[in-house]
Chain A
């Protein structure tokens, strides 16, 4: 009994001391500076890049990583994260840069303008555009399908098991910017938005349709390597005007053309040395991006190898970036 009580008291004292030490002794732990435990494992200078799930973003990262490693002597880690969490990670310093952002006004305001933990890194040089697309073979057979006003006529042909009696508008990953549900409702179309849930699933489905030359209507975006394999024609939606997509519930216009942006973690942008300067200068065209993206997605080359091939062939393009 005696022993027992003494033991308990000792335990209590130990717990109290530990708690105190934890609370006061070690001081504050900064949540904004925590890098990956895998970074710089062998004393190398490391850059962590975020990769988004589409192949275009993989192409950017692959080429940037290849040049950082082989021309500037950095070690590069890549992390695949969805867009919004990637902004969060960038702000915390878990990743150093996002190379292709499609426009996130809310995040820009919060992190770039208010908290200043993220710095704009300039344009990527590629202009992105989201839209509704039908396969070109279908558009050629029925030219009027390329206007949204005629879409209802084709709802029957575009019906699938999932769309429940209406036509199917195939949408992609939930992480992508989309107004499609509001568009279908506000334009009063006889369509059902079916979310593929991931880009991989959407591409697989599109290719399956194309193989059988079936008609389909899909949310899709440029630049994208898939256009080289499955030619698609855009459906005209009511024209985009500045601010017509301000209220998500009441959108009834097309998507804008967005010059894609790069963003860097502020601290990295200031102290990242050559790597940060290189990433700010990195800028290429749609064709150049597609060339790499196609090698990754079609020839199934690992991103590093695709990047290597491109780098070997395009010295004049990247030399100004590394200077």
Chain B
């Protein structure tokens, strides 16, 4: 499912990496370099002098050597100076108290937030009541018919089967609750994101102003803004929907803006010459031309909203996420899985349908007589009408048969066998495995040999040296602006007064990213070379990526004990699929001509890989690094739930204790870490 890779962070950038005709500057450099095949020394020289990064790298390397010497000469300057930090707990605590005390009476709440909240409740309720009234027969029929119209018979069957499984697992009502929440949240995200994207796409100035806002919205871990939402709206659906909109709107905005900006200049010229006004041009030419990107944006919004639906369960959003969360309280992986599977299924079905709809928009319509009969029946506006009518008929029939809720006898209990499997795994793998040792030993070694030295190393490094290193890395990755953003983000962490826990988190992120990249590149290379491996991997990756992260909570603790090691394990599981996909895609898109010529020169398989494929796929690999960093950071909070400590724990603590100061400061620090890491790992930009 190529689209789930896009779920990942910057769809815009990813879309670019996926399309060879818009290859970035660095890719082109790499191409000419390896095609010329120079001997090592001129290549090094070329790298240092011609390459943008190389030219800067030399003085930076010298500076680094000098600075490290200085740092060793003046030890003991590890932590951030207290004089340079600001304590926000006072004002933030007062702000929290003010909100709670005034929530029932202040006009802002009575006349604004109250109405927003009511509107959300009314909308979700309306959708939910309709879904319940349609019954399982009606909902399944409607889903199947819509899939049939948009994507054909196969997907229609998948769709019907997916809904049937939701029922079979005994999750019909929670699935409908999640679906109702999703429908409203996605509609709102698409509306908000579409408007922002329209502004950014039509006016370059608005685009520039919006970019940092969108960046922040995306790097922001969802948990960090749950807390303010809860304070203002209270727990429950309104806060959940609004948090979802904040999370899901940016990709929609980005892709809409991208689509508008890239509209074919020729077509626009033509429509302008025909005397169309600005608005006419927008409605008749630019928007239709941007249709594919906009649809991709909708797809993205759906995927992001679905992943948020689970996180929002922490603040009482109900539905499937709540079932996962409640199951975990009684340490019941099986029940958590039973609620997790419908989420995966919803994601797969929605994603494939939106994908197919997007593909159909691009393709030329088949002449009617060559279309399959069913497709012809459901074509056009009367097809739409027919879809609705058929679904209503099915719903009425279902109700007359007296089965509006899924019959309870038709359920399959999977919890017990799953729990037995997990129990066996932890009994036999935790310790005492001959030769390689149990997972507990690995966890202890990983903690002792990797995490501890990394953490103490980072915490002992003088703060100014860290700032300089980050600045240097930023310069190597991009422009001085990239470097400045990265340095400011790191400095902000110090100013917020959470320097030590942030470095603790950073050490965990770096270690988890390293493991993710090693595994991800290895699997990605394998998948790129064998079509069968790829087909086998695809469903596994789908599941890893869409399964709510909470489900991993118990298995990782059962395998690795409480601490930072299970947190790293959960992060690796979550980030691995994106890395594998991007790597495999990147390697497969390497120009066949270059590979062919290498093969004709007698290069062996590994030579082809090392000297042609990997250098040519460099932009994709860089993107994979960036994605790994961002996704691993997204799991930091989950780490807080399994003993990872540091920032993740503080955010969880803030949420659990309603402590705005702790939670918000830690959340802000995660944002800064994310911004910094994102900037210094950004794939080389188009110059």
- Which A residues are within 8 Å of any B CB, using their own CB? 3-4, 7, 22-23, 26, 28-32, 34-38, 41-42, 51, 53-55, 58, 77-86, 88-89, 92, 94, 110, 115, 117, 160-162, 164, 170, 173-175, 194-205, 208, 211-212, 296-297, 300, 302
| Closest partner residue, chain A, to B413 (CB atom) | A302
Question: How far apart are the CA atoms of A211 and B658 in the complex, in Å?
Answer: 36
Determine if B86 is an interface residue (Cβ-Cβ < 8 Å).
no
**Contact residues of B with A, CB < 8 Å?**
100, 103-104, 109-115, 117-118, 121-122, 124-125, 128-129, 132, 177, 180, 230, 234-238, 277-279, 313-316, 318, 322, 325-326, 328-332, 334-335, 415-416, 419, 426-427, 430-431, 440, 443-444, 447-448, 452, 553-554, 557-558, 561-566, 639-645, 648-649, 652-653, 655-658
B180 cross-chain contacts in A, Cβ below 8 A: 37
CB contact under 8 A between A205 and B124, given known A55-B330, A174-B656: no
Q: Chain A residues near B234: list those with CB within 8 A.
A: 31, 34, 88-89, 92, 94
Contact at B235–A89, with CB atoms within 8 Å? Answer: yes
Are A88 and B448 neighbours in the complex by a CB distance under 8 Å? no
Compute how far the CA of A201 lies from the CA of B499 in the bound complex, rounded to whole angstroms: 27
Q: In the complex, what residues of A have CB within 8 A of residue B237's CB? A: 36-38
The 8 closest A-B pairs by CB, nearest first: A29-B114, A175-B656, A37-B125, A174-B653, A162-B563, A28-B110, A161-B447, A82-B656
Flag if B656 contacts A30 (CB, 8 Å).
no
Q: Contacts A41-B128, A88-B230, A197-B652 known; A51 to B643 CB distance under 8 Å? A: no
Docked-complex contact A37 and B121, CB < 8 angstroms: yes
B553→A79 contact, CB < 8 A: no
Contact across chains for B448 and A161 when beta carbons are under 8 A apart: yes
Q: How far is the CA of A92 from the CA of B109 in the complex (A)?
A: 13
Kindly report which residue of chain B lies nearest to residue A93, judged by CB atoms. Answer: B234
B562 touches A80 (CB 8 A): no
Question: When the two chains form the complex, which single residue of A37, A199, A212 contacts B329, counting CB atoms closer than 8 Å?
Answer: A199
Do A55 and B329 touch across chains, with their CB atoms under 8 A apart?
yes
Chain B at the A interface: SS class: helix
Q: Are B114 and A31 in contact (CB under 8 A)?
A: yes
Chain A residues whose C-beta falls within 8 Å of the C-beta of B328 in the assembled complex: 198, 200
Question: Given the complex, which residues of B lie within 8 Å of A37, measured CB to CB?
Answer: 121-122, 124-125, 128, 180, 237
6 A-B Cβ contacts within 8 A? A22-B111, A85-B658, A160-B563, A194-B645, A197-B648, A212-B431
A31, B104: Cβ atoms closer than 8 Å: yes
Using A196-B642, A296-B330, A297-B331 as known contacts, say yes or no to A204 and B554 having CB atoms under 8 A apart: yes
A203 / chain B contacts, CB cutoff of 8 Å:
331
Set of chain B residues within 8 Å of A88, measured between Cβ atoms: 100, 230, 234-235, 658
Q: Within 8 Å CB of B554, what residues of A?
A: 200-201, 204
Extra 14 A-B pairs, beta carbons < 8 Å, given A160-B561, A162-B447: A28-B110, A29-B111, A37-B122, A37-B128, A41-B128, A80-B325, A81-B315, A85-B235, A89-B235, A92-B234, A161-B444, A161-B563, A200-B554, A205-B557
Q: Cα distance A51–B403 when bound, in Å?
A: 30
* Cross-chain contact of B649 among A4, A31, A110, A174 (Cβ < 8 A): A174
Which residues of A lie under 8 Å from residue B177 when comparing CB positions?
Answer: 38
Known contacts A32-B104, A36-B236, A197-B644; is A300 also within 8 Å of B335 by CB? yes
Q: How far is the CB of B167 from chain A (nearest CB, A)?
A: 16
B318 close to A36 (CB less than 8 A): yes
Most buried by A among B278, B330, B640, B643: B330
Inter-chain contact B558/A208, CB cutoff 8 Å = yes
Please measure, in the bound complex, the distance between the C-alpha atom of A76 and the C-alpha atom of B334, giving whole angstroms: 24
Contact B649 A29 (CB under 8 A): no
Establish whether residues A41 and B132, one from each chain, have CB atoms under 8 Å apart when the complex forms: yes
In whole angstroms, how far apart are the Cα atoms of A197 and B642 in the complex? 5
B558 partner residues in chain A, CB cutoff 8 A? 204, 208
Residues of chain B contacted by A300 (CB below 8 angstroms): 330, 332, 334-335, 415-416, 419
A201 and B110 contacting across the interface, CB-CB below 8 Å: no
Closest CB of chain B to A129's CB: distance in Å?
21
Residues A194 and B235 in contact in the complex (CB < 8 Å), given A83-B656, A300-B335: no
Complex: A36 Cα to B565 Cα, angstroms: 38
Contact status B640-A80, CB under 8 Å: no
- Given the known interface contacts A174-B653, A300-B419, the answer about A194 and B658 at a Cβ–Cβ threshold of 8 Å is no
Chain B residue numbers with a CB within 8 Å of A22 are: 111-112, 115
Q: Which residue of B is nearest A54, CB measured?
A: B329
Q: Give B626 Cβ to nearest chain A Cβ, in Å.
A: 28
Cβ distance B130 to chain A, nearest Cβ, rounded Å: 11
The answer to whether B561 and A208 touch across the interface, beta carbons within 8 angstroms, is yes
Residues of A within 8 A of B653 (CB): 174
Whether A29 contacts B104 by the Cβ 8 Å rule is no
Give bound CA distance, A31 to B234, whole Å: 9
Chain B residues whose CB sits within 8 angstroms of the CB of A117 once the complex forms: 104
Measured CB to CB, the nearest residue on chain A to B653 is: A174
A31:B117 contact, CB within 8 angstroms: yes
Cβ contact within 8 Å between B562 and A202: yes
Inter-chain contact B655/A82, CB cutoff 8 Å: yes
Partner of B238, one of A30, A34, A58, A161: A34
Partner of A173, one of B331, B427, B645, B656: B656
* CB-defined contacts of A297 to chain B, threshold 8 Å: 330-331
Docked CA distance A228–B673 (Å): 44
B648: chain A residues within 8 A (beta carbon): 197
Residue of A nearest to B236 (CB): A94
- Distance between A310 CB and nearest chain B CB, rounded to angstroms: 16
Identify which of A78, A160, A197 contacts B641 (C-beta below 8 A).
A197
| Chain A residues whose C-beta falls within 8 Å of the C-beta of B419 in the assembled complex | 300
Q: Which residue of B lies closest to A225 (CB)?
A: B330
Q: Is the CB of B657 within 8 A of A175?
A: yes
User: Which chain B residues border A92 with CB–CB below 8 Å?
Assistant: 103, 234
A38 to B334, CA, bound (A): 25
Instruction: Say yes or no: A161 contacts B111, CB within 8 Å.
Output: no
CB-CB under 8 A from B122, the residues of chain A are 37
A55 to B332, CA, bound (A): 11
**In the bound complex, do residue B642 and residue A198 qualify as a contact, i.e. CB atoms below 8 Å apart?**
yes
Partner of B430, one of A79, A83, A208: A208
CB distance from B234 to the nearest CB of A (A): 4
CB distance from B174 to the nearest CB of A (A): 10
Nearest CB in chain A: distance from B342 CB, A: 16
A117 to chain B minimum Cβ distance, whole angstroms, is 8
A76–chain B nearest beta-carbon distance, Å: 13
Bound-state Cα–Cα, A80 to B115, Å: 25
Q: B279 is contacted by which of A4, A23, A81, A89 (Cβ under 8 Å)? A: A4
Q: How far is the CB of A56 from chain B (nearest CB, A)?
A: 11
In the assembly, what is the distance between CA of A270 and CA of B334, in Å?
40
Query: Does the CB pair A194–B561 fall under 8 Å?
Result: no
Report the bound CA distance from A204 to B425 in whole Å.
13
Contact at A200–B315, with CB atoms within 8 Å?
A: no
* B277 x A4 contact (CB < 8 A): yes
**Assembly CA distance A204 to B121 (angstroms):** 37
List the A residue with the shortest CB-CB distance to B226: A85
Residues of A within 8 A of B652 (CB): 174, 197
Check if B110 sits within 8 Å of A30, measured CB to CB.
yes
Flag if A302 contacts B118 (CB, 8 Å). no
**Shortest distance between the CB of B56 and any CB in chain A (Å):** 39
Among A195, A197, A208, find the residue whose CB has the most chain B CB atoms closer than 10 A: A197
A84 interface neighbour in B103, B316, B566, B656, Cβ under 8 Å: B656
